[in-house]
Structure 1
Amino acid sequence: MTYISISPATEQDVPNLNVLVNGAYRGESSKKGWTTEADLLGGIRTDEAGLRTLLRNPNVTILKYEDAGQLLGCVLLEKKGQDLYLGMLTVSPEAQANGIGKKLLVAAEKMAVEQKRRAITMTVITVRHELIAWYERRGYHATGEKQPFPDDPRFGIQKQPLEFIVMKKAMSTT
């Protein structure tokens, strides 16, 4: 029997979150899944110090998805004005296509409604067409706004020029 839980991460989870996020987005291990950024970016996606800083921010929650105590996914949620920003939606490459990403997205949307947030916003790299389509199938849409990718090696080393589109989904707070 599996025991699945989605709960807020704590600083004790930082080492495992760091391994999960970097393994899902960068390097050879990430290429086992469809969410890899390894062909677009070198370097790391995050580090333990960055994750600790996020968790110490009172406006940030990182939800973790565990099955029988094994960390398989996470998502970052940050209160920004009347909206909830969603980032770092991560599923272990070996566990992808099992609905974990959808479950984390549903949990994020539930949190947004409970907090009476107007919308969930996110940024997605413009060349990630399959990921944009995945979010569109779940009710998110491009706002028309674009943002530059940070020129900072802490977020990865660009292998080509990159930019973000901003996507949004209105939340029903009635």
Structure 2
Amino acid sequence: MPIITKATLADVPELNILVNSAYRGEESKKGWTSEADMLDGLRIDETMLKEYFGNEVITILKHTDNNDQITGCVYLEVKGPKLYLGMFSVSPVLQGKGVGRALLEAAEGLAKQFNCHTITMTVISTRAELINWYERRGYAFTGEIQPFHDHGRFGSPKQLIELIVMEKAVV
């Protein structure tokens, strides 16, 4: 039975592989969330992931299958009354099978535990299919647009990339 639990430092190598396979490279193209045509480089590395586990306001949830393999994950960071959701990743071969939906529901449950009344995220503005997927789950564009991170930590853009801010009230 698949299960969602908090990831631990021991999960870093497997999380690193999963996140990069979901966003970049040829493997990512097996799913519909690939950024491989927009960005070069890695989405994350083990050093960055390890840093997350040293920060008390960050939680990473993992979805595991019947063989204890990590098939999805999501980064959650408490930012005052809001819970920021990022690094949302599902194995490319399992996308469209409910893993992402289950992770979003778990994130919403955690938001309530942390007394956060809103979940916020950023999405690449040209990713219409992804934006539509979030809208079907109650997220809405706030009107705020942010530039893509130019420090290179999340990859090198092949084109101009802007991020839209989406939010959902959690009750």
Alpha-carbon shift at residue 100 of structure 1 (Å):
0.3
2:10 is aligned to 12
The letter of the residue matching 2:130 is L
Q: TM-score, normalised by structure 2?
A: 0.98
Equivalent residue letter for 1:92: S
Is 137-146 or 112-121 further displaced after alignment? 112-121
Partner in structure 2 of residue 167 of structure 1: 166
- CA-to-aligned-CA distance 1:106-148 (integer Å, 9 cap, x gap): 0000111222212000000101110000000000000001111
**Alignment partner of 1:37: what SS?**
coil
Aligned mate of 1:25, from 1, 11, 23:
23
CA distance in 1: counterparts of 2:47 and 2:114, whole angstroms: 28
Deviation (angstroms), 1:6? 0.5
Alpha-carbon distance in 1 for matches of 2:96, 2:170: 25
Partner of 1:134: 133
Q: TM-score if structure 1 supplies the norm length?
A: 0.96
Matching of residue 64 in structure 1 with residue 79 in structure 2: no
Letter in 1 for 2:82: D
Q: Which residue of 2 aligns with 1:51?
A: 49
Post-superposition shift, 1:151? Answer: 1.0
| Identity among equivalent pairs (%) | 57
Tell me the SS of whatever aligns to 2:166.
strand
The letter for the 1-side match of 2:5 is S
Query: Residues of 2 paired with 1:113 and 1:58: CA distance?
Result: 17
